[in-house]
């Protein structure tokens, strides 16, 4: 129940029918607790919101300068955090569902219900929007902490393996550049970067001597090194990432023809993120120094992915990688990131 001593709620009605506007004004006056404001067009709504505040909007979907569901999109762009209640003469369930999917908090049909029902609907819409914003803010905070933890894990691993210091970061930079060239969304790129930054996390379970020993490893030692993909995936499997990070880590050494490890996956069994990581990982590794050999250079790295496209590496990913390197060269391994 609303506190009678609370300040009135500033409500904006966007409605081009003067009769409907007068009726809403009268009904809300009876219910009490509202500062009622009325405009007739989207242009007038923009002007009003630019100079005044509102806590909720009642929005007609048929206006002189806007019609249909696009009206909702325009209002959300004007006031992203303001709760929107559709106010229409169309008693259509499909329209109501579509309105909610587009971010509205509720749907009112003109002529149905009294001022108290409108009041309750507006109050409920404000409460729902407040909770939605709080959940989003909480999720952003959690994601920030998660990504900070990922970076700490990445740095911890690099401290154990000085020969590959920066490898995971450099792979992440190239992987994101490839994904961006392929038109991936920023959210998906964020997940790709997260997986890339810890794709070798399982090496924390590999003796440092195996990682830094010059010369060829024994089959047994090499088997331990190869276990890092599965071990890394197991470490993060219990973390509720909003992306398939465990699968990225487990699959980054898989190859399209089934010659990779640890599972010998083929073709579409390998997720798209892991296909990008496979290319970025091998390009960075071949072009950089390793304890068992000097850097072979970028041309050798690009020859590897060109020569084994389709068999080992995804052709679309290879094409994107070649385009990125042609444009940016080794500067792609720099510090530019997604902005977090």
Question: Which tokens in the block code for residue 144?
Answer: 């920030």
Q: Which residues pair with 87 in a beta bridge?
A: 108
Region label for 183, one of left (φ > 0), alpha (ψ between -120 and 50) or beta (otherwise): left
CA separation for the pair 103, 293 (Å, rounded):
56
Please indicate whether residue 144 is annotated as part of the active site.
no
Beta-ladder partners of 56: 11
Q: Which of 46, 101, 203, 216 is catalytic?
A: 203
Task: Find, among 62, 10, 55, the residue nearest to 36 by Cα.
Answer: 10
Please name which of 62, 280, 269 lies closest in space to residue 180, comparing C-alpha atoms.
280
59: helix, strand or coil: strand
How far is it, in rounded angstroms, from Cα 2 to Cα 11?
A: 15
DSSP state of 80: T
Dihedral angle, C-alpha 262, 267, 268, 272, nearest 10 °? 70
CA gap 149, 156 in Å, rounded: 10
Distance CA 288, CA 199 (A): 17
Give the residue numbers annotated as catalytic, written as ranges. 203
């Amino acid at each position: 129940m609303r506190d009678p001593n609370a300040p009135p709620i500033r409500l904006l009605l966007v409605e081009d029918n003067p009769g409907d506007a007068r009726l809403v004004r009268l009904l809300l006056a009876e219910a009490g607790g509202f500062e009622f404001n009325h405009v007739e067009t989207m242009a007038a709504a923009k002007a009003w919101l630019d100079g005044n505040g509102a806590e909720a909007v009642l929005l007609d979907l048929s206006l002189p300068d806007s019609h249909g569901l696009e009206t909702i999109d325009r209002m959300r762009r004007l006031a992203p955090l303001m709760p929107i209640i559709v106010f229409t003469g169309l008693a259509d369930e499909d329209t109501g569902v579509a309105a909610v999917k587009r971010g509205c908090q509720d749907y009112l049909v003109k002529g149905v219900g009294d001022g108290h029902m409108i009041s309750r609907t507006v109050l409920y819409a404000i409460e729902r929007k407040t909770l939605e914003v709080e959940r989003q803010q909480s999720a952003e905070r959690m994601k920030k902490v998660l990504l900070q933890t990922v970076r700490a894990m990445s740095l911890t691993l690099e401290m154990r393996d000085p020969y590959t210091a920066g490898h995971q970061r450099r792979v992440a930079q190239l992987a994101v550049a490839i994904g961006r060239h392929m038109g991936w969304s920023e959210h998906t790129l964020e997940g790709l970067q997260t997986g890339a930054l810890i794709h070798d996390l399982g090496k924390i379970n590999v003796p440092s001597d195996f990682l830094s020993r010059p010369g060829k490893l024994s089959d047994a030692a090499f088997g331990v090194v190869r276990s890092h993909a599965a071990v890394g995936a197991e470490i993060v499997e219990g973390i509720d990432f909003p992306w398939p990070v465990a699968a990225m880590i487990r699959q980054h050494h898989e190859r399209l023809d089934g010659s990779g490890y640890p599972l010998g996956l083929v073709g579409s069994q390998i997720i798209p993120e892991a296909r990008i990581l496979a290319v970025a990982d091998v390009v960075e590794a071949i072009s950089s120094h390793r304890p068992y050999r000097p850097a072979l250079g970028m041309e050798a790295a690009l020859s590897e992915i060109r020569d084994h496209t389709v068999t080992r590496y995804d052709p679309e990913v290879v094409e994107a990688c070649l385009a990125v390197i042609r444009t940016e060269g080794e500067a792609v391994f720099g510090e530019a990131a997604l902005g977090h």
